[in-house]
Structure formats: structure tokens, C-alpha cells
Amino acid sequence: MMEDVVLHHRLEDSDGLSHLIATTEKLLEPFPRRPPPVFTPWFSDQSARRPPPIRPAKRAPVINAEALKEGVGGTANSPSVVDESASVAAAGVKRSWSVLASKSVRRRSPSLSKGFRRALSVHALHLRQRAKWVIGQDNCGTVRDIEQVWQALSKAARRAGLPTCNANIQRERAEIWVFCDVAYSEQVGRFLKERLQLVGSIGLHVHKLGDVFRL
């Protein structure tokens, strides 16, 4: 049975990361190792430039706060998009509603910091791989709650149009998940920190790897 080895290090000691990795590899030489599978996008770069082949025939209906009070979520034959507000949480709604970026966003190749490039190399991440920033209650500070940050994110996403992004709120966890391509994740993370005025650090989470980078 093979187990994964996870290294933890302080962000301020990033210069010693390469030495830590080299030392760990020497200690693990007597043990069998299994390299992680290489991530391969299911679509080619050429197909990414084309519009998706299948699109909904109609846009999702929108209900206002008054309709929400009469019946939350609609019926099985009428999916709905709720106008997010603090009254939604008071009504006991726990479902996660997604907020999508504008289609008119121009995707420019972002500049990556030295620390982020190091994280890409250590975890063998592909630039088209999906990752998510996790915003918790601790990042909201003492004045705001997670619902207020979600409202601010919804407005910011509609105005700024974050590249490759979609997000949802996990009310049972009191967390907000912002998904994006690895290539734009550092740019998106800095936008979240500055525009939402988050406190502390937020972590970039990749499936099966956990937190791979923090801002």
C-alpha cells in the first residue's frame, strides 16, 4: 500500500523549498514511489477557441425576493435563479447558486510570480487544469459575514468579468468557492483579496492535491 507524502513549509521560507524537496527525495529513495499522473485536457487548444457545441435554448428565469417568500426554488419544471441577499439566508436556503463571468472577457496571458511558478513545478500542474480559491468566514473579518462577501463577489464578477471563473457559496460550510483555470488563478486570487478586502490568507485548492498555493 502506497501513501502520499505532503510537505509543509512557511511562505516566508520559500528560498529553502528546493533544499527541502531535495532532502525529502533522498530520504524516500529506499521506498517505492509512484509519480502523479500527468494532467491532460480533454479538449485541445484549437477547440477551446470555438464556441461550445451545445447551448441552452433559453436563459434561466429570474425570480425576485417577493417570489422567493412565496416558494423557494420553484418547481421541478421551472428552475430558478435567486436574487442573492441576507434575506436568502434568513429564509433557510442552503443551495449553492453559481455566479458566472462575462462572456466578453478577453483572456490575456497573465504574468506569474516566481513563487507561483515554483508551485506549478512542484505539483506538476497544467495551466488548463481547474483549481479553486476557498474563502472562509475567517477571511471576512469581524464586521462582515460570508453572505455579505458573497454579495460583493457577485457584483464584482458581473462588473469585472473574471476570466475562466465561476463561483458558488457553500452555506453549510460557510465557504465561498471560486473556480478558475490554473493559468489565471494567481490573477483571480489577487483580485479577490483586493476587491473583497479579505483578511488573512486564502488557499488555492486542487483536486487530490489539496492547497498548493496561498495568498
DSSP per residue over 3-60, as a string? Answer: --------GGGGGGHHHHHHHHHHHTTTS---PPPPP--SS-HHHHTSPPS---SSPP
The 8-class DSSP code of residue 78 comes to S
The pLDDT tens digits of the residues spanning 65-123 come to: 555 555 444 433 333 333 444 755 555 656 566 666 555 555 667 789 999 999 999 99
The pLDDT tens digits of the residues spanning 22-57 come to: 888 888 888 777 777 777 777 665 555 666 566 667
Residues 204 and 132: their CA atoms lie apart, in Å, by: 6
To the nearest 5 percent, what fractions of the chain are helix, strand and coil?
A: 35, 15, 50
Residues 125 and 118: their CA atoms lie apart, in Å, by: 10
Residues 190 and 201: their CA atoms lie apart, in Å, by: 11
The 8-class DSSP code of residue 151 comes to H
Residues 104 and 182: their CA atoms lie apart, in Å, by: 20
The pLDDT tens digits of the residues spanning 113-149 come to: 999 999 999 999 999 899 999 999 999 988 889 999 9
